[in-house]
Amino acid sequence: MMLDVINPATEAVICQIAEDDAKRVDTVVRLARAAFEDWRATSVPERQATLRKVANVIRAHADELAELETQNTGILLKDAKDRYLVRTAANFDFFADYIGQSSGQVFEQHPTYVTTVRREAIGVAGLIAPWNLPLALGSMKIAAAIAFGNACVIKPSEIAPLAVIRLVEIISEVLPKGLVGIVNGRGHITGSALVDHDLVDLISFTGGTETGQRIAAAAGAKLKPVTMELGGKSANIIFDSADLDRALDAALVSIYANNGQQCLAGSRILIHDTIADRFIAAFVERARKIRIGSPLDPLTQLGPVATAAQRDRMLTFFEEAVAQGALPLVGGQRAAGLDRGYFVEPLAVEAPSNDLGVCQEEIFGPFAVFIRFKDAEEAFRLANGTRFGLASYVWTQNLALAMEAQERLEAGVVWINTPVVREMRAPFGGYKQSGIGAQGGAACEAFYSREKTITLPRRIEGLPIERLGI
């Protein structure tokens, strides 16, 4: 079957891709498995050199890859170039550095034996990536999988596969044949064939929570380890002790950057009631002025959302929220003057309660929800009052309050007085239904390699072994 690949800024069909069935998935997985047999035996310096070559070849093709990413996702071209392509290449350099420094363990406490623990590659990793940041997220998975000696097969989202397809083509020029394979198609056809394949040893998934539950169940049936980077409904808590100018800039960026399509978006803005009127008014004024338009235009601040379904989802959530008593603040319409493309105005509402669907469901677009709180206790209760637990943001200049907040928040990451900062050495992963496991230096090492314990005697004199059969 052929699948249309669409430019969300123009609605034009860019091309069609062939959907890979289970037979084709089998071929790609077997090639990866064959490549793994040699790759697992490569020395660390060899692997480091290869990873650095991959980073360089990505940098040499950065403009081409960024343009494809923008064409297929609507990500602003300047962000694709300056952020995501930089990160795509850096992912390979990062893991090259990491494996040069990692070490095993030695236990010498036993008087006569010494025990070491070392890590080994596992096999073929199945990598399933979403459409919101295909290159940045997909490349992190590929880099981690191969750095620790595995082969991998990636399935990008069928909505936005083009840059990842080209990435795999480009990096394959400097990698052993088949080491990084790619399969294309819809999740329930191609993705599930990859998850089920007996030669796929582990699954790294980034996507929605419901899809993650299905994949974890399928992988669990074969006892395959999984990491799940899932959805979020992250609280951005703004106390009256915050630096409000910086908090305002950050609140806008946290929900409207990357066209609002970020798992870690600060989509629930919890605002201290003493400053709420002033803050919300300033937010709305700025949101109204956000420049919507072509992602190719360097002046654009908000591009299209990825699909027509996503656009309609924004508008439906807005309507439903207002019907349930939310106060409309900004947006709710398709963007004026942009008839082609999946453009919406930035959206925001104020919700009377955290129970509304708009406060509980991940909308995954440029849609902010404000909720007022009276004191820190209420703020923490609201922040933790969802099934998600990916990230939280806290704005206060009161150090004791910031420290209390980071302890009380049920989230895998807490950013204090800053919008998102990704520290690659640290784990990034969600609590509750936002995921299982994490991405980052040691977290990836733990997932993409397995431990082996080796014990041997320090000396054999005076170490008799019971002699059976004598």
The residues that touch ligand NDP, with contacts defined as CB under 6 A, are: 128-132, 137, 155, 157-159, 186-188, 191-192, 195, 206-208, 211, 214-215, 229-232, 263, 362, 364, 390, 430, 435
Shortest Cβ 262–ligand NDP spacing (Å): 7
CA-closest candidate to residue 135, choices 63, 190, 201: 63
- Angle (nearest 5°) at CA 102 between 125 and 220: 30
* Residue placing its CB nearer to ligand NDP in the complex, 137 or 292: 137
Shortest Cβ 191–ligand NDP spacing (Å): 2
Number of C-beta neighbours around residue 31 at 10 A: 17
* Residue placing its CB nearer to ligand NDP in the complex, 134 or 149: 134
CA distances from 273 to 290, 375, 379, 401 (A): 26, 9, 11, 17
Shortest Cβ 21–ligand NDP spacing (Å): 14
* Residue placing its CB nearer to ligand NDP in the complex, 347 or 363: 363
CA distances from 117 to 5, 104, 278, 312 (A): 47, 6, 58, 53
Q: Are 426 and 448 in contact (CB under 8 A)?
A: no
Q: Are 17 and 184 in contact (CB under 8 A)?
A: yes
CA distances from 292 to 15, 16, 70, 304, 367 (A): 26, 28, 15, 8, 14
DSSP states along 273-322: HHHHHHHHHHHHHHHHTPPB--TTSTT-SB---S-HHHHHHHHHHHHHHH
Instruction: Give the residue numbers annotated as catalytic, written as ranges.
Output: 229, 263
Q: Are 291 and 302 in contact (CB under 8 A)?
A: yes
* Residue placing its CB nearer to ligand NDP in the complex, 263 or 329: 263
Shortest Cβ 365–ligand NDP spacing (Å): 10
CA distance 65 to 80: 9
Shortest Cβ 206–ligand NDP spacing (Å): 5
Shortest Cβ 426–ligand NDP spacing (Å): 14
Give the CA dihedral 402, 403, 409, 412, nearest 10 degrees. Answer: 100
CA-closest candidate to residue 417, choices 390, 397, 389: 397
* Residue placing its CB nearer to ligand NDP in the complex, 50 or 386: 386
* Residue placing its CB nearer to ligand NDP in the complex, 119 or 141: 141
CA distance 389 to 409: 8
Helix axis angle for 399-408 and 376-383, nearest 10°, is: 30
* Residue placing its CB nearer to ligand NDP in the complex, 174 or 189: 189
Shortest Cβ 321–ligand NDP spacing (Å): 19
Which residues, in sequence order, are CB contacts of 338 under 8 Å at separation 6+?
292, 293
